[in-house]
A and B are shown apart, each in its own frame.
Chain A
Amino acid sequence: MDLIIPQINFSAIAPALTVMITAVVVLLIGLFFQKVQRELLAIVGIIGLIVSLGELGRMWGKDITGFGGMVGNDNFTIAFQMIFIIAAFLAALLSLNRIEDEYVSYGEFYGLLLFALSGIIVMVQGLNLLIVFLGLEILSISLYILTGFRKMRADSIEAALKYFLLGAFSTGFLLYGIALIYGTTGSFSFKGISSYVNANGFTNVLFVAGIILFLVGLAFKAAFVPFHQWTPDVYQGAPTPIAAFMSVGAKGAAFAVLIRLFVSVAAFSTREWTIAIWVLALLTMTIGNVVAIVQQNIKRMLAYSSIAHAGYILVGVLAGNEMGRSAVLFYLMAYTFMNLGAFGVVSYLGISHKVENLRIESYRGIGYKYPFAALAMAVFMFSLAGVPPTAGFIGKFYLFSAALKAGFVWLVILSVLNAVISAYYYLRVVVAMYMQEPEEGKVFELPAASWGVGLALLLAVLGVLYMGIFPSSLMQLFQKTAELISML
Chain B
Amino acid sequence: MLEWIWLVPLFPLIGVIINGLFGRYLGHKIVGILGSTMIGLSFITVSIIFVDLLKLPPEHRFFTKTLYDWIVAGNFTAQISFLVDPLSVVMMLVVTGVSFVIHIYSIGYMHGDKGYSRFFTYLNLFVFAMLLLITADNFLMMFVGWEGVGLCSYLLIGFWYGDNYNAYAGRKAFVVNRIGDFGFLLGIFFIVVTFHSVNFQEVFGAAAAKYTIGAPIITVITSLLFVGAMGKSAQIPLYVWLPDAMAGPTPVSALIHAATMVTAGVYMVARANVLYTLSPISMALIAVIGVATAFFAATMGMTQFDIKRMLAYSTISQLGYMFVGVGVGAFAAGIFHLMTHAFFKALLFMGAGSIMHAMSNSTDMRMMGGLKKKMPITYWTFLMATLAISGIPGFSGFFSKDEILWQSLAGAYGNFWIWLVGVITAGLTAFYMFRAVYMTFHGELRAKKEIAEHVHEAPSTMTVPLLILGVLAVIGGYIGIPKILGGSNPFEHFLDPVFEKSLEIRHAAGLVPHISGESARVLELPLMGLTFVIVLVGIGFAYLMYLKRPELPGIWTKKINYVYQLVFNKYYVDEIYETLIVNPMAAISESFLWKFVDVKIIDGFINGTGNVVRGTGRVVRKWQTGFVQNYALSFVIGVVILVFYIVFM
Residues of chain A touching chain B, judged by Cβ–Cβ distance below 8 Å, are: 154-155, 157-158, 161-162, 165-166, 169-170, 173, 202, 205, 208-209, 212-213, 215-216, 220, 225-227, 229-230, 232-233, 236-237, 272-273, 276, 287, 290-291, 293-294, 296-297, 300, 322-323, 326-327, 356, 358, 365, 382, 387-389, 393-394, 397-398, 400-402, 404-405, 409, 412-413, 416-417, 420, 423-424, 427, 431, 434-437, 469-472, 475-476, 479
The listed residue with most B CB atoms (<10 A of its CB), out of A173, A208, A434, is A434
Nearest Cβ distance between residue A181 and chain B, in whole angstroms? Answer: 14
Contact A388 B148 (CB under 8 A): yes
With A157-B616, A358-B612, A436-B167 as contacts: A166 and B635 at CB distance below 8 Å: yes
Q: Which 7 interchain pairs have the tightest Cβ spacing?
A: A435-B158, A435-B167, A435-B161, A226-B638, A388-B144, A472-B72, A420-B182
Q: Which residues of B contact A209 (CB under 8 A)?
A: 643, 647
Within 8 A of A (CB), among B395-429: none
**With the chains together, A393 CA to B70 CA distance in Å?**
13
Closest to B637 in A: A226
With A154-B619, A165-B628, A276-B646 as contacts: A291 and B598 at CB distance below 8 Å: yes
Contact A388 B143 (CB under 8 A): yes
Contact A155 B612 (CB under 8 A): yes
Interface size on B, residues (CB 8 A): 70
Contact of A427 among B72, B174, B623, B649 (CB under 8 A): B174
Closest to B132 in A: A389
Q: Does B608 contact A (CB under 8 A)?
A: yes
Contact A294 B638 (CB under 8 A): no
**With the chains together, A401 CA to B191 CA distance in Å?**
11
Contact B594 A291 (CB under 8 A): yes
Q: Which residues of A contact B593 (CB under 8 A)?
A: 287, 290-291
How many inter-chain contacts with C-beta < 8 Å in the A-B complex?
A: 185
Nearest Cβ distance between residue B559 and chain A, in whole angstroms? Answer: 44
Q: Which residues of B contact A365 (CB under 8 A)?
A: 161
Given contacts A327-B73, A405-B193, A417-B182, 9 further A-B contacts (CB under 8 A): A154-B618, A209-B643, A213-B639, A236-B611, A237-B611, A287-B598, A412-B189, A431-B170, A434-B161
Contact A169 B635 (CB under 8 A): yes
**With the chains together, A11 CA to B171 CA distance in Å?**
55
Contact B69 A472 (CB under 8 A): yes
Q: Which residues of A contact B311 (CB under 8 A)?
A: none
**With the chains together, A427 CA to B70 CA distance in Å?**
26
**With the chains together, A173 CA to B164 CA distance in Å?**
51
Contact A155 B614 (CB under 8 A): yes
Contact B179 A420 (CB under 8 A): yes
**With the chains together, A389 CA to B189 CA distance in Å?**
17
Q: Which residues of B contact A327 (CB under 8 A)?
A: 73
With A297-B609, A475-B71 as contacts: A166 and B631 at CB distance below 8 Å: yes
Contact of B73 among A226, A323, A413, A435 (CB under 8 A): A323
Q: Which residues of A contact B178 (CB under 8 A)?
A: 420, 423-424
Q: Does B590 contact A (CB under 8 A)?
A: yes
Q: Does B632 contact A (CB under 8 A)?
A: yes
Q: Which residues of B contact A213 (CB under 8 A)?
A: 639
**With the chains together, A169 CA to B594 CA distance in Å?**
24
Contact B71 A397 (CB under 8 A): yes
Closest to A216 in B: B639
Contact A470 B68 (CB under 8 A): yes
Contact A154 B642 (CB under 8 A): no
Closest to A394 in B: B71
Contact A476 B72 (CB under 8 A): yes
Contact B189 A416 (CB under 8 A): yes
Nearest Cβ distance between residue A469 and chain B, in whole angstroms? Answer: 8
Contact B643 A212 (CB under 8 A): yes
Contact A227 B638 (CB under 8 A): yes
Would you give 11 A-B contacts (Cβ < 8 Å), ordered by A? Answer: A154-B615, A165-B632, A291-B593, A291-B598, A405-B193, A431-B167, A434-B155, A469-B70, A470-B68, A471-B71, A479-B73
Contact of B645 among A173, A229, A272, A472 (CB under 8 A): A272
Q: Which residues of A contact B2 (CB under 8 A)?
A: none
Contact B628 A216 (CB under 8 A): no
**With the chains together, A423 CA to B140 CA distance in Å?**
19
Q: Which residues of A contact B192 (CB under 8 A)?
A: 401, 404
Q: Which residues of B contact A394 (CB under 8 A)?
A: 71
Q: Does B471 contact A (CB under 8 A)?
A: no
**With the chains together, A329 CA to B161 CA distance in Å?**
39
Contact A161 B646 (CB under 8 A): no
Q: Which residues of A contact B140 (CB under 8 A)?
A: 397
**With the chains together, A434 CA to B192 CA distance in Å?**
36
**With the chains together, A236 CA to B614 CA distance in Å?**
13
Q: Does B76 contact A (CB under 8 A)?
A: yes
With A166-B635, A435-B158, A437-B162 as contacts: A208 and B612 at CB distance below 8 Å: no
**With the chains together, A227 CA to B639 CA distance in Å?**
9
Q: Which residues of B contact A202 (CB under 8 A)?
A: 646
Q: Which residues of A contact B162 (CB under 8 A)?
A: 437
Q: Which residues of B contact A169 (CB under 8 A)?
A: 632, 635
Nearest Cβ distance between residue B456 and chain A, in whole angstroms? Answer: 31
Contact A401 B164 (CB under 8 A): no
Q: Can you list, as one digit per residue, whether each of B581-618 has a CB less than 8 Å from chain A (1) or not (0)?
A: 00000001110011001100011001011011111101
Q: Which residues of B contact A230 (CB under 8 A)?
A: 631
**With the chains together, A220 CA to B639 CA distance in Å?**
11
Q: Does B166 contact A (CB under 8 A)?
A: yes
Nearest Cβ distance between residue A211 and chain B, in whole angstroms? Answer: 8
Q: Does B18 contact A (CB under 8 A)?
A: no
Contact B158 A297 (CB under 8 A): no
Q: Which residues of A contact B611 (CB under 8 A)?
A: 155, 158, 233, 236-237, 297
Q: Which residues of B contact A154 (CB under 8 A)?
A: 613-616, 618-619
Contact B638 A158 (CB under 8 A): no
Q: Does B185 contact A (CB under 8 A)?
A: yes
Contact B74 A229 (CB under 8 A): no
Closest to A164 in B: B628
Contact B147 A388 (CB under 8 A): yes
Q: Which residues of B contact A216 (CB under 8 A)?
A: 635, 638-639, 642
Closest to B180 in A: A420
Nearest Cβ distance between residue A9 and chain B, in whole angstroms? Answer: 35
Nearest Cβ distance between residue B372 and chain A, in whole angstroms? Answer: 37
Closest to A237 in B: B611
The listed residue with most B CB atoms (<10 A of its CB), out of A165, A170, A397, A402, is A397
Nearest Cβ distance between residue B204 and chain A, in whole angstroms? Answer: 21
Q: Does B569 contact A (CB under 8 A)?
A: no
Contact of B164 among A215, A293, A436 (CB under 8 A): A436
The listed residue with most B CB atoms (<10 A of its CB), out of A170, A291, A416, A427, is A291
Nearest Cβ distance between residue B116 and chain A, in whole angstroms? Answer: 13
Contact B181 A229 (CB under 8 A): no
With A287-B593, A420-B181, A431-B171 as contacts: A398 and B151 at CB distance below 8 Å: no
**With the chains together, A170 CA to B614 CA distance in Å?**
27
Q: Which residues of A contact B186 (CB under 8 A)?
A: 413, 416
The listed residue with most A CB atoms (<10 A of its CB), out of B154, B616, B639, is B639
Contact of A471 among B70, B147, B185, B647 (CB under 8 A): B70
Q: Can you list, as one digit per residue, whether each of B621-646 has a CB less than 8 Å from chain A (1) or not (0)?
A: 00100001001101101110011011
**With the chains together, A215 CA to B638 CA distance in Å?**
12
Contact A475 B158 (CB under 8 A): no
Q: Which residues of A contact B602 (CB under 8 A)?
A: 225-226, 229, 287
Contact B614 A158 (CB under 8 A): yes
Q: Does B533 contact A (CB under 8 A)?
A: no
Contact B147 A229 (CB under 8 A): no
Contact A294 B594 (CB under 8 A): yes
Contact A226 B634 (CB under 8 A): yes
Contact of A276 among B73, B635, B642 (CB under 8 A): B642
**With the chains together, A213 CA to B639 CA distance in Å?**
7
Closest to A422 in B: B178
Q: Does B26 contact A (CB under 8 A)?
A: no
Closest to B182 in A: A420
**With the chains together, A282 CA to B186 CA distance in Å?**
17
Q: Which residues of A contact B623 (CB under 8 A)?
A: 158, 161
Q: Which residues of A contact B589 (CB under 8 A)?
A: 290-291, 293-294
**With the chains together, A157 CA to B569 CA distance in Å?**
55
